[in-house]
Amino acid sequence: MVTTSKASEPVPHAKVDKRVERSRHTVLVTAFKLLSESGVAGFTVDEVARRSGVAKTTIYRHWPTREALVMDACSQMIAKQETPDTGSLEGDVSAILLEIAHLLRTANWSFVLPSIVDTAERNPEFAEIHSRIQRGHAAPLREVLERAVDRGELSANGNVSTLVAALLGPLFYRRWFSREPVDDQFVKAIINLVLSTN
Amino acid sequence: MVTTSKASEPVPHAKVDKRVERSRHTVLVTAFKLLSESGVAGFTVDEVARRSGVAKTTIYRHWPTREALVMDACSQMIAKQETPDTGSLEGDVSAILLEIAHLLRTANWSFVLPSIVDTAERNPEFAEIHSRIQRGHAAPLREVLERAVDRGELSANGNVSTLVAALLGPLFYRRWFSREPVDDQFVKAIINLVLSTN
């Protein structure tokens, strides 16, 4: 399975698996880096092969199409954020939103996401990936809001989906649309605005 | 200036200007339509020439580069929204946001904007165009909020930039990120959430 192994030498299964795993990982890291630089449109398997040193034939063995590789690399972006439990709704929401604001300022996916959004407009398969990435971002926030409804800290009338959009939307708006700073002061002002009426 | 005119016949200036204007308009409309379909990445002057029937040399006479044509076509997207004056802050904000929600669901620029956002991540010239488009969208909203501060209907503490992001962000979030409906009920819930504390 790995182009560097000699066909004549029997290689133990575990060792092959480890090598395959390593080369898969290298390809995904390289692919994601290339996506950060040139977006979905400028992404080619040739360039991934050149940069990673993994043969194109090997890459195509794991990912039959360019699209499959892009999608797998994108899946790596799904934020694995922990759900905080500070005891109060405002504490939980602050912890989540300040972390997202930090990632919007620094994380690689923050440069790649517009390319996914754009591709999703014209490609239903990408739209599915994209909505998965989005659900990943929003899951901890949704969870702490639902917990607050159960605790009676938040009126059940306050629709959780609406609140998620009201809290995340302004951060995304500043990062990608108005291109204003997403600093901690702004995040706290939004939380104050949205939660004080509930 | 126009490829269909016969060089031997003298043509009145006004007539030439009108023809030039018409061919410019045809090119811009075609360019914008092509952008809607394939985004910035899939945009070529060849295809604009083919579809519009205007010669490539004529197109390049008006727009020296592909980028110049893309940017000019994008500028056409800037919403020429009127600033309403219903007499109340909530009335004004509702009129603006319900119209934007309608455009997000139906207007061509709603499909093209992600491509501009994506290109802006890597291209400062596009970033400038993009921020101009964005200021165009937000101008009437900013105006009615500032008017409400002057009238004393809105606390001057409520930072206008924060309020713009709090009102527009959730709509943009739903349209391009969570891909949930941006219906009138949602728009009203956001207005209620954001304005009731101010």
pLDDT tens digits, B52-110: 999 999 999 999 988 889 888 887 766 577 899 998 999 999 999 999 999 999 887 88
Residue A155: predicted pLDDT = 73
**Band of the pLDDT at B4, cuts 50, 70, 90?**
very low
**Chain A within 8 Å of B181 (Cβ-Cβ)?**
no
Distance (Å, whole) CA A109 – CA A175:
12
Domain limits, chain A: 18-75, 78-196
Residue B157: predicted pLDDT = 59
Residue B82: predicted pLDDT = 86
CATH number of A78-196: 1.10.357.10
- Enter the DSSP assignment of A154: S
ipTM for the assembly: 0.82
Q: What does the radius of gyration of chain A's CA atoms come to, in whole angstroms?
A: 21
**Band of the pLDDT at B40, cuts 50, 70, 90?**
confident
Distance (Å, whole) CA A164 – CA A81:
15
Cα within 13 Å of Cα(A149), Cβ side: 13
Percent of chain B exceeding pLDDT 70 equals: 89
Residue A73: predicted pLDDT = 87
Q: Given a cut of 90, is residue B188 above it in pLDDT?
A: yes
Stretches in chain A below the pLDDT threshold 50: 1-7, 198
The alpha carbon of residue B32 is apart from the nearest alpha carbon of chain A, in Å, by 16
pTM: 0.83
CATH number of A18-75: 1.10.10.60
Residue B12: predicted pLDDT = 67
Average pLDDT across chain B, whole number: 86
Residue B6: predicted pLDDT = 46
Chain centre distance of CA A140? 14
pLDDT tens per residue, range B161-178: 999 999 999 999 999 999
Nearest residue to A22 via CA among A60, A47, A58: A58
Q: Given a cut of 60, is residue B38 above it in pLDDT?
A: yes
Give the mean model confidence (pLDDT) for residues B171-197: 92
Distance (Å, whole) CA B139 – CA A79:
34
Report the Cα–Cα distance between both ends of chain B, in Å, rounded.
57
- Enter the DSSP assignment of B68: H
**Chain B within 8 Å of A169 (Cβ-Cβ)?**
yes
Query: Which residues of chain A from 85 to 104 reach within 8 Å of chain B, CB to CB?
Result: none
Asked if B170 lies within 8 A of A174 by C-beta distance, the reply is: no
Distance (Å, whole) CA A141 – CA B173:
15
Asked if B186 lies within 8 A of A138 by C-beta distance, the reply is: no
Distance (Å, whole) CA B182 – CA B137:
17
Angle CA A167–A129–A101, to nearest 5: 30
Residue B48: predicted pLDDT = 96
Residue written as tokens 């503490």? B157
Residue written as tokens 């159960």? A150
Q: Given a cut of 80, is residue B113 above it in pLDDT?
A: yes
